[in-house]
């Protein structure tokens, strides 16, 4: 599984303007809710519930918030490059400027884990992450991801 299989250009926010973790999660929940036709507050509640278990700030200025939804039929990914870094209570204490949100159906156990693993593998590549951070358009970010995954 590749992130490019789960992501479209329309699911990339190249310059998200937020000033806090809660605001970022809320904006992502609103964005996903509008695209999926799902209640954004439910998405937000699930993301916040997951954050209570431990921060999804995985380090290297990256966060991967994720949640399982009962009324979702396939995995849905949003990638947001933040205009300005925000405090996120990350494991390495660094601010976050890149967020990949993964929403999945409740019953997508194996697929969900593969999506998380694919995200981690992609974001572990410092060159790819630098290109994503340097790209100003959704098209450029998507092209970077597709190129990295085809290599």
Do 82 and 16 meet the contact criterion of CB atoms below 8 Å apart? yes
C-beta of residue 58 within 8 angstroms of C-beta of residue 64: yes
Query: What do you get for the CA distance between the two ends of the chain, in Å?
Result: 14
DSSP H or E stretch at residue 86: strand 76-86
Helices 126-134 and 109-123, packing angle to 10 deg: 80
- Known catalytic membership, residue 2: no
Please give the DSSP secondary-structure letter assigned to residue 124: T
Distance CA 60, CA 100 (A): 13
Strand partners, 76: 103
- The angle subtended at Cα 21 by Cα 117 and Cα 13, nearest 5°, is 65
Catalytic residues: 66
């Amino acid at each position: 599984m590749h992130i490019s299989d789960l992501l479209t250009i329309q699911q990339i926010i190249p310059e998200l303007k937020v000033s806090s973790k809660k605001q970022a999660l809320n904006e992502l929940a609103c964005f996903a809710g509008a695209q999926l036709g799902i209640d954004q507050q439910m998405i937000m509640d699930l993301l916040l519930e997951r954050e209570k278990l431990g921060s999804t700030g995985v380090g290297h200025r990256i966060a991967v918030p994720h949640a399982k939804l009962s009324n979702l039929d396939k995995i849905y990914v949003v990638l947001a490059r933040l205009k300005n870094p925000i405090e996120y209570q990350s494991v390495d204490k660094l601010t976050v400027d890149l967020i990949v949100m993964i929403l999945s159906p409740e019953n997508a156990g194996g697929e969900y884990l593969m999506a998380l693993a694919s995200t981690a593998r992609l974001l572990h590549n410092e060159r790819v992450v630098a290109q994503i951070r340097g790209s100003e358009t959704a098209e450029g970010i998507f092209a970077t991801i597709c190129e990295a995954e085809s290599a």
